[in-house]
Amino acid sequence: MEYRRLGASGLVVPALSFGAGTFGGRGELFSAWGDTDAAQARRLVDISLAAGVTMFDTADVYSDGASEEVLGAAIQGRRDQLLLSTKASLPTGPGPYDAGSGRARLIGAVEGSLRRLGVDHIDLFQLHAFDAHTPVEETLAALHTLVEAGKIRYLGASNFAGWQLMKSLAAADRNGLTRYVAHQVYYSLVGRDYEWELMPLARDQGVGAVVWSPLGWGRLTGRIRRGQPLPAGSRLHQTAEAGPPVDDAVLYDVVDVLDEIAGETGKTVPQIALNWLLRRPTVSTVIVGARNEEQLRQNLGAVGWELDADQVARLDKASATTPPYPYYPYYRLPDFARLNPPAV
């Protein structure tokens, strides 16, 4: 396993992390993802640790907290061998204190995660979404207090717009509060929006990308092909509308190239898609999920080798889309490019 610094921080993370969204199986969305119980989770954790995958990511909203509970049970007796990453801010109930990033909500959310995970600290705690109703100074001060209390080691955000992340970083610097060192983002060969603003910001500010859904919400598994219906067992039948939209024309063009490279390398479509991501600027770790041992072992095969320059260029071309204003059309002009070199 390759290990990297998380952004500009001192935290060392594996290139691949394990996403526990398939643990628990409560609710319509998460039951479609998976229903891994504690015994099954323990086996997946065993395989992950043996391969050097030492960070495990979850959230309080996954399966109504059951994901944290199952993960906590699966790691008993080996807390010192791994890193735990979890998130809060999204609604976990209908009450006025069940959502957001206010002081009371965050303190309660962290205490709840610690209890469900059965641990005394969280290595990486991330806000699952930006809370526009709460001043960023209040949010950051609450998080800073939790860091100083030893309940959180490092802070991150997730799904923030560029201005939201930069406003938070500036407020942290201005007030001497703990900074975000990670941004958990959607990024894949069929979803490259991260590159337009968030990647240059991350490079400038030392924020590492923690990538979620690197296989395009299940579209880059190798089972989806041009001119064919969705496979009967695909979770997209139930979850497509909940995930990032993907243009079918781009998807099929990307899959065609992935198939070509699979023939050249002997690697699978998911392994190639993950390997492409691992070489992108600012990417600290890519979260892979698995409903079973076979899926996990296949994802683990994304490390230990590299695509060559020609293969990367072909994937870049197949997956490229025109960015929105203000990145287009000016980014193509020579004078503009002199002042604003692309992050990639």
The helix/strand/coil state of 219 is coil
* Phi and psi angles of residue 198, each rounded to the nearest 5 degrees, phi first: -70, -35
Beta bridge partners of 16: 286
> Of 79, 5, 19, 6, nearest to 48 (Cα)?
19
Residue of 62, 154, 187, 194 marked catalytic? 62
Residue 62 annotated as catalytic: yes
Q: With contact defined as beta carbons under 8 Å apart, do 5 and 284 qualify?
A: yes
Name 300's Cβ contacts closer than 8 Å, sequence gap at least 6: 16, 47, 51, 53, 288
| Beta strands 3-5 and 12-14, pairing class | antiparallel
Cβ(62)–Cβ(24) below 8 Å: yes
Task: Measure the CA angle with vertex 218, ends 217 and 221; round to 5°.
Answer: 145
Per DSSP, helices labelled H in the chain are 28-33, 38-50, 66-74, 103-117, 136-148, 162-175, 198-205, 236-239, 248-265, 269-278, 293-300, 309-319, 334-339
Burial class (CB in 10 A: 0-12, 13-18, 19+), 327: middle
- CA distance readout (Å), 212 to 95, 207, 277, 315, 344: 28, 15, 11, 19, 19
Which of 209, 261, 252 has its CA nearest to residue 228? Answer: 252
Chain centroid, CA 182 distance in Å: 10
Q: How far is CA 339 from the centre of its chain?
A: 30
Active site residues: 62
